[in-house]
Homo-oligomer: A and B are copies of this chain.
Amino acid sequence: MSFAISAIPARTRNQASRGRAASARDQAAPLSSHDLATLRQAPLLSALSPDAFDRLAASFYLIDVPREAPIFNQGDPSDTLHIILSGRVALSGSTPDRRACILEVFGPREGLLDPSALVGAPHPISARAIEPSRLACLPYADLRAVIEAENGVCRGAVAQLVQHWRLFLRRLEDQKLRSAPQRLASYLVECAEAIGTPPRSPAAPIRFVLAEDRRTLASHLGMTPENLSRVIGQLRSCGVQLNGRAVAISDLAALRQFGCAASGH
């Protein structure tokens, strides 16, 4: 399978990184009035009062990136908010085994608001320009300070949406670049970790009970109940027992490895 983005040719990649490095340092520039007007229309900032907007806008700086330039990579600390003024940026996820897929493509006025950044976690995804783009940048520290000063419902809504965002991201990646057995494996690992109670002795299997019936679980994991049955059979050889809703996992590490769930979200 794997409709992967195959490796970017070395020359392009070098160009790109050089382009990026140059941008961040040398091309950093204050925003023109035209750019400011575009920025004002970004959904992220459009609710702000003129005063608050001006205060925040002063902290933005500008970078231009060439085609194929990486904006950030999976695993990087998320220190900067980017809002696209022109061009287009693709967000992609990848599994530890180097296969990647594009999750979404964003255009002007959309923010690469990686929600994980709002809670201080590293980027769970990568972003790269798919055409020459101009980005307005803001250190997340500035943004977070503003956010933490707010105590309304919206802040809660953001927290909630960030959680959902990460879940959906995860499911989309699962669906696009993992096989059915891998999806089941990583789901079981997820459940086991959510339970949080390690077995009494290290050698004893982890046991818990599924919240969902078979049909629901199958649909949740994006497969038919028939196929789920077969997949359960396959995982038995990895030390997973699944009878009814009762689960027993004898080697969690092996299962995690099998599900390629190591990418950190």
Listed in ascending order, the chain A residues whose CB lies under 8 Å from chain B are 3-6, 42-49, 52, 56, 88, 90, 92, 100-105, 107, 110-111, 113, 115, 118, 130-131, 143, 146-147, 149-165, 167-169, 171-172, 175-176, 211-213, 215-216, 218-220, 222-225, 227
Contact A153 B157 (CB under 8 A): no
Least CB separation from A163: chain B residue: B43
Which 8 pairs across A and B sit closest by C-beta, in order of nearness? A154-B154, A161-B161, A47-B155, A44-B156, A102-B219, A43-B159, A168-B168, A3-B224
Give chain B residues whose Cβ lies under 8 Å from the Cβ of A158. 154, 157-158, 161
Q: Report which of B113, B168, B225 forms a contact with A157, defined as CB distance below 8 A.
A: B113
Least CB separation from A171: chain B residue: B172
Give chain B residues whose Cβ lies under 8 Å from the Cβ of A215. 5-6
Known interface pairs A131-B211, A153-B150; A220-B102 also in contact (CB < 8 Å): yes
Contact B153 A143 (CB under 8 A): yes
Copies of this chain present: 2
List 30 A–B pairs whose Cβ atoms lie within 8 Å, in order of A's numbering.
A3-B223, A5-B216, A6-B215, A43-B156, A43-B159, A43-B160, A43-B163, A45-B156, A46-B159, A48-B152, A56-B153, A88-B212, A92-B219, A102-B219, A103-B171, A104-B164, A105-B211, A110-B160, A110-B163, A113-B157, A115-B161, A130-B211, A130-B213, A147-B152, A154-B157, A158-B158, A158-B161, A161-B162, A164-B165, A175-B176
Contact A216 B90 (CB under 8 A): yes
Give chain B residues whose Cβ lies under 8 Å from the Cβ of A110. 160, 163
Known interface pairs A110-B163, A152-B146, A167-B104; A3-B172 also in contact (CB < 8 Å): no
